[in-house]
Amino acid sequence: MATAAFHTTSPSPSRSAHLTRRSPSLPRFHSVRCSYAAKSPTLTNADPSPAFRSLTAFAPATVANLGPGFDFLGCAVGGGLGDTVTVSVDPAVAPGTLSITDISGCPAASRLNRDPRWNCAGIAGIAAMRMLGVRSVGLSLSLHKGLPLGSGLGSSAASASAAALAVNELFGGRLSPDELVLAGLESEKKVSGYHADNVGPCILGGFVLIRSYDPFEIIKLEFPADRDIYFVLVSPEFEAPTKKMREALPANITMKDHVRNSSQAAALVAAVVQGNVRVLGSALAADGIVEPRRAPLIPGMVSVKKAAMDAGAFGCTISGAGPTAVAVVDDEEKGNKIASRMVEAFLRDGNLQASATIAKLDRVGARVIGSSLE
């Protein structure tokens, strides 16, 4: 049974895991700024006592990039899609270490590494323990994969986010949301690259913008509470590893493409805060840099996008690195019709079976779904 240990250093105060800071001058934007390169996240010498014996957290699926927002835009989606992590105080595990005892869920879950140093949930869980200064107890972690691997729905981020939150709340929720994002980013950095457009919305919920990676700054974009947006998520039986899909990207782009994509990303952000799903969809479908390189690698994707638009979607693109296709609309019934056409297109032109989910925006992000004092 593999375990991982760590050491802690300087003290710093922290806040509850789901507190949201609001600026009166910018009511729709929540900015979380933390300089990860120049200053470490909160580390404490306190060695906190567990508030629970066991705790279970759920983290939702996410859609990264949103078309032109490569590596800096993303959102969390509902529909019950996500990963679940249970963390328990375990006397059989050496103090100050974490052990992965069980991985279940999707068929490919058995392929995941149980060494916590090389598992998304394990890495993030260890990072959260290090930030909290946990040294006197050992933890065991159980991961249930509700998301398939390589789906383009933030599978690794969901595992990492659920683990970071579970560890934090097990010890009373002392880390802030931005610190939890950084714990999850430790996992993403090691497993799929230094990008927070999945783990950011997975922790914070809703839409997020990564303004900067050095120093790290993330902004939550508030989609109006009185507006609805539906995501049509169609996942073919095809795995698109993030590394392979990144290798397809161009090394250089023209000034014309840069200006065009930048304007579309800006329009998408404006549409989010205005709640304009029609403009949001139009901007989401307008990526001229990443999507054209990746779509040919996913059988049938070009036809799937056309089928979605012809059926009335406001926009359609690849979710994250793919192969899931995501379309947006403001009506659930129309979403079901669009989903049917997209599934048909994957089968007809890509020879791929596909499943569809109609999901609303997940405004909450990672959350606790169970705990035990015994």
Topology of the domain covering 3-11+24-222+362-372: Ribosomal Protein S5; domain 2 (3.30.230)
At 45 the pLDDT is 65
Chain-centroid distance, C-alpha 125:
16
- Under the phi-then-psi rule, with left for phi > 0, alpha for psi from -120 to 50, and beta for the rest, what region is 150? left
Classify burial at 245, counting beta carbons within 10 Å of its beta carbon; exposed 0-12, middle 13-18, buried 19 or more. Answer: buried
Average pLDDT, the chain: 88
Task: For residues 236 and 115, give the distance between their C-alpha atoms in angstroms, rounded to a whole number.
Answer: 29
> What average pLDDT score do residues 312-321 get?
96
At 149 the pLDDT is 86
* Position 351 pLDDT exceeds 90: yes
Sign of the Cα pseudo-torsion (125, 31, 207, 264, in order): negative
Residue whose structure tokens are 């835009």: 73
143 or 7, which is more confident?
A: 143
At 374 the pLDDT is 76
At 31 the pLDDT is 39
At 40 the pLDDT is 52
- Give the pLDDT confidence of 76-99 residue by residue, as tens digits: 999 899 999 999 999 999 999 999
> What average pLDDT score do residues 366-370 get?
97
What is the DSSP pairing of strand 97-105 with strand 139-145?
Answer: parallel
- Which residues have a catalytic role annotated? 188, 242
> What average pLDDT score do residues 163-174 get?
97
pLDDT exceeding 70 applies to what percent of the chain?
88
Task: For residues 204 and 116, give the distance between their C-alpha atoms in angstroms, rounded to a whole number.
Answer: 24
pTM, full prediction:
0.87
Task: For residues 63 and 74, give the distance between their C-alpha atoms in angstroms, rounded to a whole number.
Answer: 5
Give me the residues paired with residue 219 across strands: 31, 209
| Domain chopping of the chain, boundaries | 3-11+24-222+362-372, 230-360
Note whether 281 and 314 are within 8 A (CB): yes
> What average pLDDT score do residues 205-220 get?
95
Length of the chain: 374
Tokens matching residue 84: 């679940």
Superfamily of domain 230-360: GHMP kinase, C-terminal domain (3.30.70.890)
At 243 the pLDDT is 72
